[in-house]
Amino acid sequence: MNAQRPPARPRKSRSRKGLTSSRIDLAALAAALDAVTLDPDPAALDRAQDAAYDAWEASGADQASLARSALAISPLCADAYVLLAEDDAVTDLDATVLYRLGMKAGELALGEDFENLKGEFWGWLQTRPYMRARAGRAGALYRTGHVDEALGHWRALLDLNPGDNQGVRYTLALVLLDRGDDGELRRLLGAHDDDAGIATTYTRALIAFRDGDLEAGDLLTDAIRGNRHVAAILAGTQPSRVSNNGYLTMGGTDEATIALPAEVPFAKRTAGPGCWVYDFHHVRLGPLGRLVLTELPDNAR
């Protein structure tokens, strides 16, 4: 099982053959969850979770079948709703409902621990299904245009788990970047000042440059060393590539591809229009580009 699921990815708009998610299914799942007593059977939940773990490792129709089997054992199996949302929902609207049910199931399953473990979520195994459901719901809400609601969920996930094992901060940083919410973005970057992820390193460098910070050159150098594919993709000499297995490679093309849609417009607004110029193996961003060429040591060029 992949205990740390990646940030939500865009869902293909076309329908997929063989999917059976429907409003009747969703209503039945919701009714079953509403019928759960306040004193659920922990043994049944453990068996359901085992079935969900098996479903993570399965594929195709088997995955959905195992997820439904998990819910038949215990409607409090939050991961089963997550599985159905990711692999069986026809639309993002259906996925949003399934993630919401997963959140409700996860909170009910945790009981008093939901309040007691705040700030330590993810560190406790039993909290992870809820976290996966809430992260999935945030992504689905964002894709359906409910940006403010999605932001609320991402912020809440960081409150529950400040260490952010899920990488929520990367998605949040790119959304704040796109919205131009510099105040919250600076606070987010400051809370993770030792983070070497591309969504934070390039963003930190761009903001520093715009602010006239003398450390902007050093920050940009660090960002480029962390992922050089950004330059090549921007220059058109290397194609972008989206991960097809749900994982991102640190320093890889797939990581650069995820960050670029938000980074490019912001950098253009920062450095001025028409500043993206490819020169040998470097991207120069007007004045920002001169920092790149000046700050990179000879053996790194």
* pLDDT 10s digits, 19-59: 444 443 777 788 778 777 666 688 999 999 999 999 989 88
Q: How many CB atoms lie within 10 A of CB 224?
A: 20
7 belongs to a structural domain? no
Q: pLDDT value at position 108?
A: 93
Q: Once rounded to an integer, what is the mean pLDDT over residues 179-192?
A: 89
284 belongs to a structural domain? yes
Residues 6+ apart with CB under 8 A from 269: none
Rounded mean pLDDT of the chain? 76
Q: pLDDT value at position 282?
A: 35
Contact between 170 and 199 (Cβ < 8 Å): yes
Predicted confidence band at 284 (pLDDT cuts at 50, 70, 90)?
Answer: very low
CA nearest neighbour of 122 among 162, 91, 70: 162
Of 120-134, 182-196, 252-266, 275-289, give the lowest mean pLDDT range.
275-289
> Do 147 and 204 reside in the same domain of the chain?
no
Q: pLDDT value at position 2?
A: 36
Query: What distance in Å separates the CA atoms of residue 192 and residue 63, rounded to the nearest whole number?
Result: 36
> Do 85 and 211 reside in the same domain of the chain?
no
Q: Once rounded to an integer, what is the mean pLDDT over residues 82-87?
A: 91
* Per-residue pLDDT at 109 exceeds 80: yes
3-state SS, the chain, equals CCCCCCCCCCCCCCCCCCCCCCHHHHHHHHHHHHCCCCCCCHHHHHHHHHHHHHHHHCCHHHHHHHHHHHHHHCCCCHHHHHHHHHHCCCCHHHHHHHHHHHHHHHHHHHCCHHHHCCCCECCEHHHHHHHHHHHHHHHHHHHCCCHHHHHHHHHHHHHHCCCCCCCHHHHHHHHHHHHCCHHHHHHHHHHCCCCCCHHHHHHHHHHHHHCCCCCHHHHHHHHHHHCCHHHHHHHCCCCCCCCCCCCCCCCCHHHHHHHHHHHHHHHHHHHCCCCEEEECCEEEECHHHHHHHHHCCHHHC
> Do 124 and 212 reside in the same domain of the chain?
no
Q: pLDDT value at position 112?
A: 92
> Do 116 and 199 reside in the same domain of the chain?
no
Token code pair at residue 289: 């580009």
> Do 196 and 248 reside in the same domain of the chain?
yes
List the beta bridge partners of residue 220: none
Q: Once rounded to an integer, what is the mean pLDDT over residues 135-158?
A: 95
182 belongs to a structural domain? no
40 belongs to a structural domain? yes
10 belongs to a structural domain? no
Predicted confidence band at 250 (pLDDT cuts at 50, 70, 90)?
Answer: confident
Q: pLDDT value at position 39?
A: 63
* Per-residue pLDDT at 298 exceeds 80: no
Residue with the larger pLDDT of the pair 177 and 63: 63
Domain extent, residue 295, equals 190-300
Residue with the larger pLDDT of the pair 195 and 150: 150
224 belongs to a structural domain? yes
Predicted confidence band at 153 (pLDDT cuts at 50, 70, 90)?
Answer: very high
Of 36-50, 73-87, 93-107, 183-197, give the lowest mean pLDDT range.
36-50
> Do 61 and 97 reside in the same domain of the chain?
yes
Domain with 31 in it: what CATH number? 1.25.40
Q: In degrees, to the nearest 5, what angle opens at C-alpha 277 toward C-alphas 272 and 278? A: 155
Q: What's the structural domain count of the chain?
A: 2
pLDDT tens digits along 188-228: 999 998 888 777 888 888 788 777 788 877 888 888 888 88
